[in-house]
Amino acid sequence: MSHFKRIGLLGSLDVAEVKESLHKLESFLVSQGREVVYEEQAAKLVDWPVDKTLPIEEFAGAIDLGIVVGGDGSMLSACRKMAASGIPLLGINRGRLGFLTDISPDEIEARVMPVLNGEYKQTRRFMLETTVTRNGQEIGTGTALNDIVLHPGMSVRMMTFELYVDGEFVYSQRSDGLIVATPTGSTAYALSAGGPLLFPELDAIVVVPLNPHTLSSRPIALHGNAQIELRVSSRNELHPLVTCDGHNDFTTEPGDVITIRKHANDIQLIHPKDNNFYGVCRSKLGWGSRLGVKR
C-alpha cells in the first residue's frame, strides 16, 4: 500500500552533493509513480528542468511527505517553516553530524522505498517559542526546534540575568549565558555545554548554563509545559543576544524580559523502521558499540 504519493523536496545548501542527492531522489520517486514537488529554494539549486514548484507556505494540502536533503540545519529550517502544516518530514543526510537527517545518500532507494510503503517510525517533536518584551512592549518573537540561547554575541564579558520558572524565582546568575533546549536540541549546543541527553520524545525542557561563574550551577530538567522567564539584569553593561536555532538574533537591553514556552505546533519526523535513538548516539557520538561482550 502506498502511504505517500505526493512528495515535496526541500534543500537549502548550494553544494554539488545536495544537487546530486536531489536528482537521485527525484528520479527514484518518479520511477515509483510518485508526484514530485520542489520547494522554491530547492528548485533554484538544481540545473535541470523542474515540473512543479511551490513556495513552502503552499505545501499544506499539496504534499503528503516532505523530504529534506542537507544537514540538521536544513531540517531545522524546514521544521520551523512547516510547523503549522502537519506534514511529516524525512531527512537525507548531506551534512556533518545528522541527528535529524537519518538516511545516507547511498541508501536512498533501499531506505526510502519502505517508507513510501508505510514501513517507518514516526516521532513527534515539540518546539519552543520565545517573546522578548521591553517596558511591556513586544520587540521580537522566535521559534526553535533545538534551542533558544541567551548569549553575549562577540563580547567575552559575562552577563547577569535572573531565571524564573512558572513565576517562581530560581536564581540570579553571572555567566556567558543560558541554553534552553528541547529533547531534540539536547544533542546539539546543550550537549557541548555539558547538558544531559534527553530521549527525543520526553516532555521535558533542559536549562543549561554557559560557563557560570560558580561551581554549583548545574543543568536543570523542567516539565515540557514550564514557562521560563529570563530577566536581563539592569546591572549589565552588555546587550545580550537571543538566538533561536542559531538564527533570528534579537538584541536585548538591561531590563528586558525573555519568555520561553512550548510552541503550539508539534513536528512529525519520519524515520526508517530500524532507526533507534541509542544506535544514532553510538554512530554520531562514538559510543562503544561492542554487544554481548563477556567480562
Looking at the annotation, which residues are catalytic?
72
**What angle is formed at CA 106 by the lines to CA 105 and CA 109, rounded to 5 degrees?**
95
Total residue count of the chain as it appears in this document: 295
Q: Which of 116, 114, 147, 105 is nearest to 129 (CA)?
A: 147
216: left (phi over 0), alpha (psi -120 to 50) or beta: alpha
- Give the integer Cα–Cα distance in Å for 269 and 20: 23
